[in-house]
Amino acid sequence: MLFAQLFINGLQTGALYALIAAGFSLIFGMTRIFHAAHGATFTIAGYIFYECYSVLHINWIVAALAAAIAASLFGVLIDRVIYARIQKHEGSFFTVFVASFGMAIVVQNLIAMIFDRGAVTVSTPLSKSLEMLPGLYVAPIAAVVVLCALIFFMALQWLLTQTNLGIALRALGENPTLVEVYGLTPRLLSQYVFLIGSILVVPAAILTAATSGLNPAMGNHVMLISIAATIVGGVGSLRGAAMAGLILGMAENLCLAVIDPQWSEAVTFVILFLFILFRPGGVYGRAIVT
């Protein structure tokens, strides 16, 4: 029964990781910007939801909308005000990365100043586990997490494959110069990417607030998962990032059946190293874009 319990826990963690990684992978794949402040977007969304839902007692749908607006505003503004300016003058990958990293630290400290430095949680009956079988406990929120991941990935897949915007975004990821030839503006498309990528992180932030709680410094962990999932899944592959998130979450939990909990996080990095060494293209074998 322990294995079944860990499998279900792994599914929940994996779906959450998949949602976390998708936004970063989309942004990096389409714009080649190493958006280190993606973790900050996650933290902002989580804290706005917490403030609206738990402190101001606003309806959860409105609170989620507020979180989505805050996250997308942050994402779009950081692209427009910071990344666009740097790229206009210099365009160095490293300069953009440093700016993004700095922004993540600024946001972390601002959140600590505004919301205090301690951890906060969103209390909901959905996160309380129920005994489904003797010794097997499942929280309703596990189903919500998996369902959310499925809905968001299906919606994203539809957007990228069935709409003109999606085709333009994929073209941006393949060849930005050619996009211009067709009369489109790469800068504007980049803002759409940041908008979608930032919104993608919102369900993960809300669900994390309810399952494990939030703290101002949690963006670092989010980035760790995002980077690992992007590499394991194959840079630029959304399907790969989702699958990688699932693999990492499952591995982190299933390994507990055989090894000490202390090493469960190390399993993530073992998987990462194995992929870098033996399958650098990621789960689906997509070539790494340089």
Partner 1 sequence: MKKFILGLTLAQAAWALPAVAADYAIGAIFPMSGPNAEYGQVFGTGVDLAVEHINADKKLSGKLTVIYEDSQALPAQGVTAATKLVNVSKVPFALSAFTGVSKAVAAVGQRTKTVMANGGGVGPDLATLGEYFWNTIPLANFEVRVMAPFLVKDKGLKRVAMIYVDDPLGQSLLTELSTEVKAAGGEMVGTFSIPTTAQQFSGIAARVRDTKPDVVYVASYGNQQVQLVKQLRDNAITQPIASYSAFSTPSIASLPEAKGVYFSGQQLNLTRDDPLTKRVVADYKAKYNKEPGAYVVNYYNAVLTFAELAAALEKAGKPVTGENLLAQRKATKSFEFVGATVSFADDGTVKAPIQINEIVGDGTTRVVFAPK
Interacting residues toward partner 1 by CB under 8 A: 2, 5-6, 9-10, 12-13, 108-109, 112, 116-121, 123, 127-129, 131, 135, 137, 139, 211-213, 215-218, 221, 252-253, 256, 260-262, 264-265
Complex with partner 1: residue 50 or 192, whichever CB lies closer: 50
Minimum CB distance to partner 1, residue 109 (Å):
6
Which residue reads 């427009």 in tokens? 80
Complex with partner 1: residue 9 or 87, whichever CB lies closer: 9
Half-sphere CA count of 194, side-chain side, radius 13 A? 30
Distinct helix (H) and strand (E) counts, the chain: 12, 2
Beta-bridged to residue 133, according to DSSP, are 136
Complex with partner 1: residue 61 or 258, whichever CB lies closer: 258
Complex with partner 1: residue 60 or 137, whichever CB lies closer: 137
Q: Nearest Cα to 205, choosing from 152, 258, 156?
A: 152
Complex with partner 1: residue 109 or 185, whichever CB lies closer: 109
Task: Retrieve residue 204's tokens.
Answer: 């993960």
Minimum CB distance to partner 1, residue 144 (Å):
13
Look at strands 136-138 and 130-133 and give their pairing.
Answer: antiparallel
Cβ neighbourhood burial of 201 (10 Å; 0-12, 13-18, 19+): buried
Minimum CB distance to partner 1, residue 160 (Å):
29
What is the rounded CA–CA span in Å between residue 46 and residue 74? Answer: 13
Complex with partner 1: residue 157 or 212, whichever CB lies closer: 212
Minimum CB distance to partner 1, residue 260 (Å):
6
Minimum CB distance to partner 1, residue 140 (Å):
11
Which secondary-structure segment (H or E) carries 140?
Answer: helix 140-162
Minimum CB distance to partner 1, residue 105 (Å):
8
* Share in percent of the chain as helix, strand, coil (round to 5): 75, 5, 20
